[in-house]
Structure 1
């Protein structure tokens, strides 16, 4: 998982969490929304750094019970003990700090796992929710704050006529399926002679949770106790999942026999989950095997290319991965056509923002305006590996398709930089003598650069208390157009996104009026050094040779740290080896300058504050009609 803040058990003893997304990945094929996960024994949820994240459909991954959408998960709790109607007593409550909401997730047993739906239970301005609990009085209590914001505790009580008597654990039709899964899980991590026959029986189960548990149980046993049975299995579903276990466990010199069994199956004859499991298993064979394995697998991919692209997006993506890894002849042209056919599609991001609030975060607002070219990016990334067989025309089309994507589509914070990195990697595959022709096809994002307006003034050195007094006396019938103008005049637009205006170098402001109180907004503007979000903090590194490197830390491990030193080009990183660093510290100085409001007069600053609170909504009650 990426960043699970909290966990909770239901009455059946099953464990759940609300896991985080990486919002900067929005619009990329590897973006994974915040999601509710059922934490089972041996569970693998596929979080990896950067572009290496597993898709949820990988057969050796658990996937999610429910995708919520972009957000910032914090505390979770089940409603047991609350004096609420029964459905809310059984609900799994999940807090979202970013969108100032508590979601009620209604879990329903489905096979050996669960499916669910959700609704917003609590939401409102100034509610960056961090945690919650059910009190002994039957009320819900939740806390807001974090990142040095003002904190408070709220209570939620039910007033109505519905029965609020404590709910009791109920038996459901899925008890037997859960018991089967748990019986298989009892063999996880333990050698047991009984495990092999039980696991083999359930490898092809239509229930994903059961066959996952069966495979993990099998992998916990000595390979020589089940290898022969898997290789001899005649039922495709059982054999493919068993071969997946073998591909994960056997030594690399034994991968050849796994691959030879796999290629006996034809992609078109397999069921939906079996197709993806077959492709995943082939990938593991290719990744872990030698050239002999690649020669065995390539004919199966050549057959699959004949019918490419398929109806299923996931099948196309995994085929593209294999086509390029194995240098399948003819795949380049087919994939370029597929890239040309991708005109952009709004990704499924859950209900957040589509139904909950039109004043959405910057990245998602961009996606609604100019849908990202997700399939095109995936194919472009895969084609980097295609090292031969290109015609000059195909190269030109490839680089032009990337340039068009950057010009005409939008995504998250890293969207343009992902394209830039793919382009750079592709250029490196071209002989230097031919590289300049294609390097000339540059990636140029649509620009909104304009000369900043000047406030009329006269300004003054504003303090927090003076601004609070001004707001309390006059934040009504404000001028929307002038507030929007002051957003640029005060230079907010150069670093912050609000609606469709501004850049993404600092925190996104579209929902600032819903997430924060007026005092917090004013104080953060007047005193930018008082509370610097760790997400946007700058680190200072002193190297052993006396150099100073300043920037945001993007990644760090035991060997090195990668730093974005130019915040306007966050994809360009400086790497420092750990042994090069003499000392480091987090800067106490914000990248946001002081005094940005000091050039504005009273009406201008009030119009700007109204514009911030409105999230760029001209129909907000704070503006005059």
Structure 2
């Protein structure tokens, strides 16, 4: 769960088709109502059942139910609780909550099965319960309806917001599936359907996140694993996720995940939105740190089946068992924590996978959704909370006029034969069988991408010496390319050279779009994985074969060609590419991705803001070209360099995610490495005009009048309640600067980036939550903003955030107010390192404000810097 950018993008990144309501009961309900500040389809009712915070029971993030319909919920940083729901027949009128009397908690995953409670614990090393991250089984040994025994089935090396997450039961009830974030190490003894020689697999050097986030994390990213009920046998099923929090099976028995984006990358060519992914066996979704993420079109990973823009995915829930209209029983419910939105995904088979129609089910402000469960009564129960925010348990029922008879869901016959074929292929991802190699190779050219992918992974798990020569046999293009990719992963250097020569014999002009993309990716992988320097004749062959087609292909193919020629140091591409960057500045395609036509009508608060922001969006294609050209060392003239570095000036004036400008500057610095030292200052100066845009943040700021005081949380709540009717936007905007918030935080793109972006603060934080975060900043610090303490051999220590790492040293940012102030440490001088418990944000920043000034500041934060917000009306 993480801070985010704007709720409208979470709706608009994919085309959300809304079907008109008709007499057919299986259509979506388009008319919407609002109850208790939560908007949902007409006919549904919502009830807030319980508030854990009012009983000092923490902030709940996970939930499951037992055979009696009782719920179990866990505080993110504390205990597990049993929740007995109201029973109308027995005149029970309140929720009953009891803490489990065992030392276990901090479970981001809970599952009840066969009288046992399973917990996937995500524990900070210094937690109060003194337990370790891992997979636990909680039992009632004496059968007195009270748990008394806790057994760790496996420990995991991972914690925090990208650590171990949730658990689900397999559809056949015979195994469990666990999902773990990309900061959780994969144990070496775990078996895998995906060959474990995974690599970063980027042809050009990766530029890591300038903020330091996930810079030390390597392939394969987040992962999903299957195990038995005693945690003895383990098999990895899927990798390459970023930070999926929850997984769920649909009624066909297929597994899905709701994966997170990296909002800092907004506007960049490597940005990947939050997305619904179909987790087939052996799947890889291509997460890599920094700029290294795989394009979804690459054949060595799979795409999402629905992109939802920007947000913070949490829960994922199958609708089976709900007493809702039929349409709402057959799909998946997707929870977005940042923007308080629950989506509904209606799945339609397509080949051996699916397409998804995604619509908004319910939303509220604030409504930080965490997880949900289908109750025994057919109602939808869901939790809000996380990061110590105010937490609640809600119940959603349907009382409208449509039938809510529970459907008996059976496997969808559409696409069934394709799914059967894919599963037959997937069986050989674990089992070696030389007699099936021809069967696997045959299916490398299937029209279904998921079958092609499963076949290649299964082939890679067979003996490479049996199938490697098939790359030179037959005339099917996709089959040859897929075998070449498999050889890149599993072959020896001489095998890779043989495969590369085979590919270069193909006729480029007859290849279709998919074949060209796959061809270039195969060439990249063969080059990357070959452990010897490429023979000059091969380099010349690639250049001679492909250069005539450069900039005459699709955007994706042109990007791949640019990277390939930059790697090969082909100076002939400099002038035409720079000309393209200078003249092809249209971002209409980008706008169509980020903004659907009716967004203004859907969101009064955000619609106009996003339209204004998109007027200043960068051209992603040109950023990709600039990054590739930064690697070319030969062929530059002074005139070409001047044109190239002036492009950075234009790029830095555009808008994007929080690290947009820092990524652009990092690419520029890489390009400057290829300029002789005496000329670097000159070329750097060509792009510095826009770098001073943030320098005047404190200009004309009026200091607070005061007098202030040492505020408590209750004081803030009381002051805001008394003054909110007369909130002053201009005063709040000024105080955002005067209180130094602007040094570390940004609102609507204005401000620093060493702390969370605050534009959407009001969508998930109440006044109480905001006051807690300001007055007690160290109480709940996101992993992304935690400092590390580096203890040195000489007895000194340095505290800061890692922003860059080389083989011999690290570079850390040591001042939150001035993140450009860095310190370099030689790795051999580090004795040990530990996560700092204190936030980089100091206490007392609001203590100089009087109550009216404080209220103006809080209103400005709630409004997200929007003077037309209802806070001011």
Q: Give the Cα separation in 2 of the matches to 1:72 and 1:269.
A: 42
Q: Distance in 2 between matches of 1:353 and 1:499?
A: 22
Structure 2 CA distance for aligned equivalents of residues 518 and 85 of structure 1? 36
Structure 2 CA distance for aligned equivalents of residues 283 and 491 of structure 1 = 47
Distance 1:292 1:465, change over 3 A: closer
Matching of residues 437-476 of structure 1 within 5 Å: 437-443=682-688, 444-445=690-691, 446-447=693-694, 448-449=696-697, 450-476=699-725
Moved more, 286-295 or 265-274: 286-295
Aligned to 1:603: 852
Match of 2:576 among 331, 334, 338: 334
CA contact (8 A) 1:95 1:130 kept: yes
Deviates more, 1:58-67 or 1:571-580: 571-580
- The 8 Å contact of residues 471 and 499 in structure 2, kept in 1 or not, is answered as no
Match of 2:795 in 1: 546
* 2:728 is the counterpart of 1:507: no
* Distance (Å, rounded) in 2 between the aligned partners of 1:329 and 1:155: 63
1:104 and 1:118 in contact (8 A); partners too: yes
Q: Would you say the 8 A contact 2:352–2:418 is kept in 1?
A: yes
> What is the match of residue 496 of structure 2?
255
1:349-360 counterparts in 2 under 5 A? 349=594, 357=603
> Could you tell me how far 1:554 is from its partner in structure 2?
5.1
Give the whole-Å Cα distance in 2 for the aligned partners of 1:162 and 1:254.
63
Tell me, what secondary structure is at the counterpart of 2:428?
A: coil
Alignment-derived partner of residue 172 in structure 1? 413
SS of aligned partner of 1:476: helix
Q: Secondary structure at the match of 1:597?
A: coil
Give the structure-1-normalised TM-score.
0.92
**What SS does the aligned partner of 2:783 have?**
coil
Check conservation: 1:100, 1:127, Cα contact below 8 A.
Answer: yes
CA distance in 1, matches of 2:844, 2:379: 44
User: 1:569-607: per-residue Cα shift (whole Å, max 9, x none)?
Assistant: 657765656653334444444333333333333332222
CA displacement at 1:442 relative to structure 2: 4.3
- 1:270-281 matches, cutoff 5 A: 270-281=511-522
Match of 2:628 among 382, 395, 404: 382
The question of 1:132 aligning with 2:372 is answered yes
Offset of residue 314 of structure 1: 0.8
Question: After the TM superposition, which of the residue ranges 165-174 and 561-570 deviates more from structure 2?
Answer: 561-570
How many Å separate the matches in 1 of 2:492 and 2:861? 59
Alignment of 1:10-409 (within 5 A): 10-167=250-407, 168-289=409-530, 290=532, 295-343=537-585, 345=587, 346=590, 348-349=593-594, 357=603, 368-406=614-652, 408-409=653-654
Distance 2:685 2:719 in 1: 54
- Sort the Cα spacing of 1:352 and 1:521 in 2 relative to 1 into closer, same or farther, 3 A: farther
For residues 292 and 513 of structure 1, what CA distance do their matches in structure 2 show? 55
Separation in 1 of the partners of 2:872 and 2:538? Answer: 69
- Hey, what's the Cα distance between the residues in 2 that align with 1:410 and 1:231? 48
Aligned to 2:367, the other structure's residue is in SS state coil
1:266 Cα deviation from its structure 2 partner: 3.1
Q: Contact 1:68 / 1:352 at 8 angstroms: preserved in 2? A: no
* 1:552 CA displacement: 2.2
Once structures 1 and 2 are overlaid, which stretch shifts more, 571-580 or 524-533?
A: 571-580
Offset at residue 293 of structure 1 (A):
5.0
Equivalent in the alignment of 1:6: 246
Q: Is this contact kept in 2: 1:359–1:499, CA < 8 A?
A: no
- CA distance 1:568–1:287, change in 2 (3 Å): farther
Moved more, 3-12 or 302-311: 302-311
Task: Give the secondary-structure state (helix, strand or coil) at the position aligned to 2:391.
Answer: strand
Residue 502 and residue 571 in structure 1: after superposition, are their counterparts in 2 closer, same or farther (change >3 A)?
closer
Aligned residues: 622
Q: Is the 8 A contact 1:34 1:67 kept in 2?
A: yes
**Helix, strand or coil for the counterpart of 1:371?**
coil
Bigger Cα displacement from structure 2, 203-212 vs 569-578: 569-578
Contact 2:816 2:841 in 1 (8 A): no
- Alpha-carbon spacing, 1:155–1:617, altered in 2? closer, same or farther (3 Å): same
Question: C-alpha distance in 1, partners of 2:427/2:834?
Answer: 47
The 1-side partners of 2:759 and 2:597 are apart by: 14
Retained in 2: the 8 A contact 1:83–1:166?
A: yes
Query: Unaligned 5+ residue runs, structure 2?
Result: 1-240
Per mean C-alpha deviation after superposition, the further-off stretch among 252-261 and 207-216 is 252-261
Q: Unaligned regions of 5+ residues in structure 1, if any?
A: none
Q: For residues 369 and 521 of structure 1, do their structure 2 counterparts lie closer, same or farther at Cα, with a shift above 3 Å needed?
A: farther
TM-score by length of 2: 0.67
Question: Would the alpha carbon gap of residues 360 and 414 (structure 1) be closer, same or farther in structure 2, given more than 3 Å must change?
Answer: farther
Partner deviation per Cα, 1:523-558 (whole Å, 9 max, x = no partner)? 322333443333322232221112321112458999
CA distance in 2, matches of 1:435, 1:387: 14
Aligned in 2, Cα 1:540/1:249: closer, same or farther, shift over 3 Å?
Answer: closer
Q: Does 1:532 align with 2:781?
A: yes
- Using a 3 Å threshold, how does the CA distance of structure 1 residues 555 and 297 change in structure 2: closer, same or farther? closer
> Residues of 2 paired with 1:12 and 1:614: CA distance?
44
Cα 1:166–1:580, aligned 2, differ >3 Å: closer, same or farther? farther
Q: Deviations over 1:406-431 (max 9, x none)?
A: 1x212222222222222222222233
Root-mean-square deviation (Å): 2.9
CA distance in 2, matches of 1:80, 1:571: 52
Residue 25 of structure 1 deviates from its aligned partner by: 1.8
Deviations, residues 309-365 of structure 1 (Å, cap 9, x unaligned) = 13521101100111111223411112212222342634634779956656569x989
Question: What is the alpha-carbon distance in structure 2 between the residues aligned to residue 131 and residue 555 of structure 1?
Answer: 35
- Seen in structure 2, the aligned counterparts of structure 1 residues 63 and 574 have a Cα distance that, compared at 3 Å, is farther
Would you tell me which structure has more helix in proportion to its own residues?
A: 1
- Structure 1 window deviating more from structure 2 (552-561 vs 469-478): it is 552-561
CA distance in 2, matches of 1:288, 1:585: 35
| Partners of 1:483 and 1:340 in 2: CA distance | 40
CA distance in 2: counterparts of 1:229 and 1:583, whole angstroms: 51
Separation in structure 2 between the aligned mates of residue 269 and residue 490 of structure 1, nearest angstrom = 63
Partner SS, residue 69 of structure 1: coil
Higher mean displacement: 555-564 or 4-13: 555-564
User: What corresponds to 2:672 in structure 1?
Assistant: 427
Decide whether aligned partners of structure 1 residues 248 and 569 sit closer, same or farther in structure 2, where only a CA change above 3 A counts: farther
Tell me whether 1:410 sits opposite 2:663 in the alignment. no
Q: Do 1:74 and 1:97's aligned partners in 2 also have CA atoms closer than 8 Å?
A: yes
Could you say which residue in structure 1 is the equivalent of 2:193? none
